[in-house]
Amino acid sequence: MSVNAVSIPGLRPMIEGDLDQVMVVEYASYPFPWTRGIFKDCLSSGYCCWVMEDTDSLAGELKGYGILSVAAGEAHVLNVAISPKQRQQGLARHLMFHLLDVAKDHNVETVFLEVRPSNTAAFRLYHALGFNQVGQRRDYYPTETGREDALIMALTL
Ligand SMILES: CC(C)(COP(=O)(O)OP(=O)(O)OC[C@H]1O[C@@H](n2cnc3c(N)ncnc32)[C@H](O)[C@@H]1OP(=O)(O)O)[C@@H](O)C(=O)NCCC(=O)NCCS
């Protein structure tokens, strides 16, 4: 299942200079997007923050990004997003393979994440990678009309 990061063109650590483009993808991806400050905090906290950039584009347009926190043998996938025009080409799968490789490098035993039950694309992506539902947080996410539960998913490495 593992894909070596060096075989994925354009995959590199996120830097603060990426945040303008990251925010474009973030706003295009979520009804309740993270703020720029949250991304800055992830960078300054030393979280594993990765971007995929379009190596064919002179401007180095961002295709997507993923953020992983690692502590005490556990990792949490905090954010994964792919630019709408770049979706359904396998990029999120590659990004997730890379984040799982990063977790393995940190001797992580279990990777956790949360996903909205309504987010079919993300749920299927995680399920296809071997994540299973291990819990549920009631009314965790805001929605346009109220609240939505979060499914907690886990993968043992
Ligand atoms: C979820 C997301 C990251 C998937 O990115 P992607 O690059 O399009 O996904 P991939 O092309 O790598 O697809 C991998 C697998 O995910 C699932 N998947 C992806 N898009 C899907 C869709 N629109 N409908 C159903 N399943 C989908 C499939 O199982 C797919 O495997 P397959 O192609 O063999 O069927 C992308 O839709 C996105 O950025 N969404 C907005 C942000 C978001 O919801 N992030 C997750 C938060 S928990």
pLDDT (tens digit per residue) in 96-138: 999 999 999 999 999 999 999 999 999 999 999 999 999 999 9
Nearest ligand 1 atom, CA 77? 48
Mean per-residue pLDDT over the chain, rounded: 93
Boundaries of domain holding 102: 5-156
pLDDT at 8: 67
Tell me, what CATH number does 17's domain have?
Answer: 3.40.630.30
* Number of domains comprising the chain: 1
pLDDT at 1: 45
Ligand 1 pocket (Cβ < 6 Å) reads 29-30, 80-82, 87-93, 115, 119-122, 124-125, 128
| Percent of the chain with pLDDT strictly greater than 70 | 94
Nearest ligand 1 atom, CA 81? 39
DSSP assignment of the chain equals ----GGGSTTEEE--GGGHHHHHHHHHHH-SSPPPHHHHHHHHHTT-EEEEEE-TTSTT--EEEEEEEEEETTEEEEEEEEE-GGG-SSSHHHHHHHHHHHHHHHTT-SEEEEEE-TT-HHHHHHHHHTT-EEEEEEEEEEE-SSSEEEEEEEEEE-
pTM of the model: 0.94
